[in-house]
Structure 1
Amino acid sequence: MRRLMKNPVGLLGAILVTAMVGLALVGPLIWSGAANAIHPQQISQGSSSAHLLGTDALGRDMLARTLAATRLTMGLAFVATLIGTGAGILLGAAPAVLPRPVARAVTAAVDLLVAFPALLLAMFTAVVVGLGGRGAVLGIGVALAPTFARLTHTLTASVTGSDYVAAARMLRVPRHRILTRHVLPNIAEPLILNAAQAMGSALLGLSAMSFLGMGVQAPSYDWGRLLNDAFGHVYVTPSVVIAPAVAVTLAGLGFMLLGDTFAKAAGRTTATAAKPVPPVVARAEELPLPDAILEVRDLTVAFPGGVTPVRELSLTVHPGQIVGLVGESGSGKSMTAAAIGQIVPHPGLTGSARMRLCGTDLDTLGAAERRKLLGSSLAMVFQDPTSSLNPALRVGGQLAEVATLHDGASRAEARDRAIERLRRVHIKEPEQVIRQHPHELSGGMRQRAVIAMGLMGTPRLIIADEPTTALDVTVQREVLRVLREVVDDTRAGALFISHDIAVVSELCDRVQVMYAGRVVEELPADALHRARHPYTRALIGSMPDMDTDRSRPLTTIPGRQPSPADIGTGCAFADRCALATDRCTERPALTERDADHLVACWEA
């Protein structure tokens, strides 16, 4: 409201809309008598002291009739807006819950209707339904629906890619509940704000329909009907069209200005889809490790167009162990986490020689069994807690949802568990925090709340995808301490993803260095000073310490990492490596050079 008061355009729109709403409430009560009074001796007169803006063909006062018609005009526009917005939201949200072929058909139908002129669509509907106020209202509602459907579809697509929606899918939340609980509440604001603009369009459209004789019929009258009745006398007594014309203009302008002011605050994003292609998957023959919490062999993630962000990656996480996955942005770290959690975005596909979680091969499970295992044994802590937590729901409800869905806990039991888990991650006054929304918490508290959400079940594996990137150093240390404590207390395994090799060396037990979708070196964290791969040594060298010469520029790695679509058959780091030779045109395999130390480099 403060912003609205400071915006002259929005303030003018608010004043006009308020005035029209006030007239709609009191207009018929005050002016209906004068509006319906017939004066045969004053038929079709111009402006006079008795009738300021003239009279119609029956001698009725045009100003009084315009003021009295405000209620019917505004009421019909409101109903048409409700029909248009309601139908549009249903059409726009339907693709999120319908099977893909049906969803595409609905989207194509909406695109076709958007391309059709709105007024012609309204007139066609009115002719089919029948002339009159009801037909005009339905016609305008049908004409408004495609625009709202397109807006809803766009907003829905932006929300369905959020981490908390992906988590809800992992929890086997039904599609319709995801839509009503997670998607629609988070797109309600821009839809409501754009409804003000739609109200102005509905009012102008209804007035146009009535002016053309396809809307309100005598003896009822709205502003468009008054313009229709007065149009035959406009050249003789032009004052008779002033009142309804000004009313239509001011009301439409008010709603348009107000809606435009609100609509500028609503962000709009688009989402695209592509046809998937199967990845190339390597095969491994070694026996599975019986004590490993997570065992991945030859994991590959591929997208259309030859984009392969993860290539034949293997890793193992044991109980009580934190494995660090480190590398530059774009090296495939987060996509690896998504593949393990089975949340690679469409149209990406994953394949592996083996993917075992808690001793169970995920590839042998059905969809329901896989979701149950992942939902109960895997906890994911994403980089941005704001996208992991639904801003429309309270923190306690989001934590409790895990316990109620997976463990069948009652609401009271789930609430008590949520309080205990928040206390476990060192959040003060958890009884108050569970009643708050995510925006009321600090960044560090939100991240710890996400960790607590992962602990609502009994996770055996915790995947933390750069959970401290957006936090200051002090809060970062607190979050890392909480993660270490959780792993030590529960004997769970953890996969910690970061681009900060200093953080990885401090927190993790073992480190895997990724470059261009592959692991190029694997070694214990306390042995990083003995790193052999040129890329790992370059990462360590670019990290300043207390002994760094401040008179010299910081060490950097020349060049840039290749795109996942441009990786050749040789060593991907060769173009940036000072040790590169002709042999680097062939890709080196990840082989053991020292005890518990693997390197993929010909010269290391």
Structure 2
Amino acid sequence: MERETGRRRPAWVAVVRTPAGAAAGVLLALLVVLAVLAPVLWSDNAEAVNSTAISQSASAGHPLGTDALGRDILYRVLVATRLSLGLALSATLIGVVLGTLLGAAPSVLPRRIGRLLTGAVNIAVAVPGLLLALFVAVVVGVGTMGAVLAIGFAIAPAFARLVHTMSASVTGRDFVAAARVAGVGRVRLLIRHVLPNIAEPLVVNATVAAGTALLSFAGLSFLGIGVQAPSYDWGRLLGEGLDRIYLNPAAALAPGVAVVIAGLAFNLFGEVAAAQLGMRATSHRVPMPGRVTAGKSIGEATPAAAAAPEQPVLLVRNLRVAFPAESGWTTPVRGVSFTVGAGEAVGVVGESGSGKSLTALAVSRLIEAPGEVTADRLEFTGVPLLESPERGLRALLGTSLAMVFQDPATSFNPTRRIGRQLAEVSEQHQGLSRRQAHQRAVDRLRTVRVPAPGRRARQYPHEFSGGMRQRAMIAAGMMGDPRLIVADEPTTALDVTVQRQVLKQLHRVRVETGAAILLISHDIAVVAQTCDRVLVMYAGRVVEDLPADELLNSARHPYTRALLAATPDLDADRDQSLAVIPGRPPQPDDMPAGCAFAARCAFADDRCRAEEPVLVDTGGAGHVACWHPVAVSAGTQAPGERTPAHTGPEEV
């Protein structure tokens, strides 16, 4: 039974609970009150000219003295709060908006234009901010508007660099990939999924930038290229008071102290917020649970998959995925070929780095530049994925292909409610209204056995348990009419009980909708129990393809036999050590000639080390890529292999 997590306390509450944060918050609140009330209460006193009290020092009637026209300096400093803060915040707003646009633009622009824009931003970041502000102020013109634009443009490059860096870190998350599969466009993806997830640190940095803008504005006004008479801000008052600093030090110190206090309040609040929100963002990873025991049934029996039609749901021929490297190209997926028929469940197993997940991402069109995907044929429901334009594929992939990712904690956008995220597919591709799409989302949550689906649809991902999030991911895939569900390690981060529930749910969806399933897993026992066919991958290639019910008794590749031997079994002799596969898989950028498994295989000979085998028919329902396949019928075993105590995998 899954336990509902409690609501978390708003993150910004932690900021004001600290002594430094509370002090900075109080100072900012006082500044805002002064900015609002001071011009209303004391504007007349600040503007009143008194020819009998010109340039007086501090006195009981004028605590900070008077200026050259006899105007009270204290009132002028208080009234100047509104203009000083207003101009600083206006410049910050310009810098933040412009910086956000510049930083986010490379994500939506063509790659070459995006690179040019990023390079221009990097050059601008190298120029000192105040120097850039002075340059812009001179070009735009002396005065309030010129100073606002100058400081705004000076803030923008650094903010653009920040937005670009943080956006890049978010775009690699699973929920962004899921949105791409759903057919969400780049601009909408940026606005709805990327920017909301970097909003908090951007607000923190904007707060610090406001303090910097305040100091910069005071500096420009002090130099005479900012606020012009008859208007006045703290910088202009500081410049006027500096001429008489030896006669009346308070005239210069008062606006200077005001600038320092206001700048300190903004910067201190931003620094405390950054520290507190950074600590709250740190989360503990869920420990890796134990695996489902091989040979134990985890649900009702799966009916035999329907015979594959002439037109398979997924057709892959000679798929290759390559990435640029210093010495050329690295190809972690090398010539993978397989088909997935309607209603068929195909499992893909192998060690980490074997290319399983990259294969799943490639068939889902989720490999982005600089990665390159090539294939002789890559077709989904008869549509060539590599030749078709991205815009034309959005509706097809968004409604007919569903992705269930490995980590349920990153599978959803944490800033949006579950129901809204599920409803997006129906709004985008099925033309449903907001209300209709929400109702469909609730219905899909009910279908995957999420309790109280109406209430759950209004909750955020952090309020779901891990198993419930994974079921919600399956529900998201069912918002359309999926022909294929790609499940990439859907049970890795879950305990055994929740694994069982998720696998049963995938089976139920398959039976009720007729969708095919491509299940990626490290656990060969899980694949044997849940799939009709098994693909074993090693070093970027499929080395064996055979029916799941023949896996234990008919697997012929030494690597497959070694994986089976390393699978824990309740009937195994506890006095014997668990079998392991010696050595390590080769690196994609250092692939040996011949068979990639030869260095770890006891049957390898000179031919294995010189010639790479290809998949050939074993004479039955399977295929194997090996020069010396294991003669299972003769009882030959791979090194370290135990004879399985059970006769075959049980189906889900």
Same fold (TM over 0.5): yes
C-alpha separation in 1, matches of 2:384 and 2:150: 57
Corresponding residue number in structure 2 for 1:106: 117
- Residue 599 of structure 1 is matched in structure 2 by 624
| Structure 1 counterpart of 2:169 | 158
State TM-score, norm by structure 1. Answer: 0.90
- SS of 1:157 mapped into structure 2: helix
Shift in Å at residue 430 of structure 1?
1.6
1:242 aligns with 253
Residue 64 of structure 2: aligned partner:
53
What does the per-residue CA deviation read over 1:477-509, in whole Å, with 9 as the maximum and x for residues that have no partner? 101001011112222211100111121122112
Residue 356 of structure 2 corresponds to which residue in structure 1? 333
1:91 aligns with 2:114: no
CA distance in 1: counterparts of 2:351 and 2:103, whole angstroms: 38
CA distance in 2 between partners of 1:263 and 1:585 (Å): 55
Out of 395, 403, 406, the residue aligned to residue 380 of structure 1 is 403
1:596, 1:577 → 2: CA distance? 24
Letter of the 2:96 partner, please give it. T
* Greater Cα shift, 150-159 or 71-80: 150-159
8 Å contact 1:84–1:143 — kept in the other structure?
yes
Q: Does 1:115 align with 2:138?
A: no
State the secondary structure of the residue aligned to 1:350.
Answer: strand
| Cα distance, 1:130–1:358 mapped onto 2, change above 3 Å | closer
Task: Determine the structure 2 residue equivalent to 1:189.
Answer: 200
| Residue of structure 2 aligned with 1:177, choices 184, 188, 192 | 188
Structure 2 vs 1, CA of residues 121 and 329 (structure 1 numbering), >3 Å: closer, same or farther?
same
C-alpha spacing 1:415/1:239, structure 2 compared with 1 (3 Å): closer
Aligned twin of 1:535: 559
Deviations 1:186-226 (A, max 9, x none): 32222222211111011001100111111112222211111
Aligned to 1:571: 595
- 2:605 matched residue in structure 1: 581
Is residue 319 of structure 2 the alignment partner of residue 294 of structure 1? Answer: no
Counterpart-to-counterpart distance in 1, 2:63 and 2:427: 69
Please, what is the CA RMSD of the aligned residues? 2.5
For 2:302, the equivalent position in structure 1 comes to none
Shift of 1:549: 4.5
- The question of whether the paired residues in 1 share the 8 Å contact of 2:535 and 2:544 is answered with yes
Q: What's the offset of the Cα at 1:567?
A: 1.0
Given that 2:365 and 2:385 are in contact with CA atoms closer than 8 Å, whether structure 1 keeps it comes out as no
CA distance in 1, matches of 2:540, 2:394: 26
In the aligned structure 2, how far is the partner of 1:62 from the partner of 1:303?
Answer: 66
Q: 8 Å contact 1:111–1:150 — kept in the other structure? A: yes
Q: Give the 3 Å change call, closer, same or farther, for CA 417–6 of structure 1 in structure 2.
A: closer
SS at match of 2:626: coil
Q: Secondary structure at the match of 1:468?
A: coil
Q: SS of the counterpart of 1:215?
A: coil
The within-5 A match list for 1:8-19 is 8-19=19-30
Contact 2:184 2:394 (8 Å CA) reproduced:
no
1:426 aligns with 2:449: yes
Equivalences for residues 224-239 of structure 1 within 5 A? 224-239=235-250
Q: Deviations over 1:10-55 (max 9, x none)?
A: 3332232222222222323444444334454554444444433343
Q: How much does 1:403 deviate?
A: 2.6
Q: Please state how far the C-alpha of 1:588 moved relative to its aligned partner.
A: 2.3
For this pair of structures, how many residues does the alignment match? 585
Structure-2 change in CA distance of 1:63 and 1:505 (3 Å):
same
Q: Which residue of 2 aligns with 1:278?
A: none
Residues 233-269 of structure 1 show CA distances to partners (whole Å, capped at 9, x for unaligned) of 223433332211111111101101111222343699x
CA–CA separation in structure 1 for the residues paired with 2:86 and 2:388: 57
How many angstroms apart in 2 are the aligned matches of 1:39 and 1:329? 83
Rounded to whole Å, the distance in 2 between the matches of 1:371 and 1:77 is 44
Partners of 2:239 and 2:252 within 8 A in 1: no
- Tell me, in whole angstroms, the C-alpha distance in 2 between the residues paired with 1:211 and 1:363: 61
Residues 1:148 and 1:361: Cα distance change in structure 2 (over 3 Å): closer
Structure 1's 593 and 263: CA in aligned 2 closer, same or farther, altered over 3 A?
same
Check if 1:452 corresponds to 2:475. yes
* Pairing of 1:454-469 with structure 2 (within 5 A): 454-469=477-492
CA contact (8 A) 1:53 1:242 kept: no
Q: What is the match of residue 501 of structure 1?
A: 524
Following superposition, the deviation at residue 179 of structure 1 comes to 2.7
Bigger mean CA offset, 258-267 vs 583-592: 258-267
Q: Is the 8 A contact 2:180 2:366 kept in 1?
A: no
1:382 maps to a residue whose letter is F
User: What displacement does 1:289 show?
Assistant: 6.6
Amino acid at match of 1:544: P
For the residue of structure 1 that corresponds to 2:414, the secondary structure is coil
Give unmatched runs, 5+ long, in structure 1: 269-287
- Please state if 1:391 is matched with 2:414: yes
Read off the aligned partner of 1:492 and give its amino acid letter: A
Contact 2:183 2:397 in 1 (8 A): no
CA spacing shift, 1:62–1:465, aligned 2, 3 Å = same
Equivalent of 2:216 in 200, 205, 213: 205
> Once structures 1 and 2 are overlaid, which stretch shifts more, 582-591 or 80-89?
582-591
Tell me which of 73, 82, 86 is aligned to 1:71.
82
1:469 and 1:507 mapped to 2: Cα distance?
Answer: 15
**Aligned partners of 1:66 and 1:223 also within 8 Å:** yes
CA-CA distance at 1:453 after TM superposition: 1.5
- Identity level (%): 56
Native 8 Å contact 1:290 1:359 kept in 2? no
Which structure 2 residue ranges, 5 or more long, are not aligned?
1-11, 282-307, 630-652
1:61 counterpart letter in structure 2? D
Per-residue CA distance 1:330-387 (angstroms, 9 max, x = gap): 1100110111112212111122222233344445645444444333322221112343
Please state whether the residue corresponding to 2:348 is helix, strand or coil: strand
Normalising by structure 2, we get a TM-score of: 0.84
Partners of 1:250 and 1:368 lie apart in 2 by: 53
Given candidates 588, 602, 615, the residue that maps to 1:590 is: 615
Measure, in 1, the Cα distance between the counterparts of 2:474 and 2:268: 45
SS of corresponding position for 1:387:
coil
The SS at the match of 1:69 is: helix
Match of 2:144 among 107, 111, 133: 133
CA 1:364/1:147 → structure 2, altered by over 3 Å: closer, same or farther?
closer
Tell me by how many angstroms 1:406 deviates.
Answer: 2.8
Which residue does 2:158 correspond to in 1? 147
Residue 261 in structure 1 maps to residue 272 in structure 2: yes
Match of 1:303 among 309, 318, 323: 323
Tell me by how many angstroms 1:6 deviates. Answer: 4.1
Range with greater deviation from structure 2 (364-373 or 502-511): 364-373
| Cα distance in 2 between the residues matched to 1:384 and 1:92 | 28
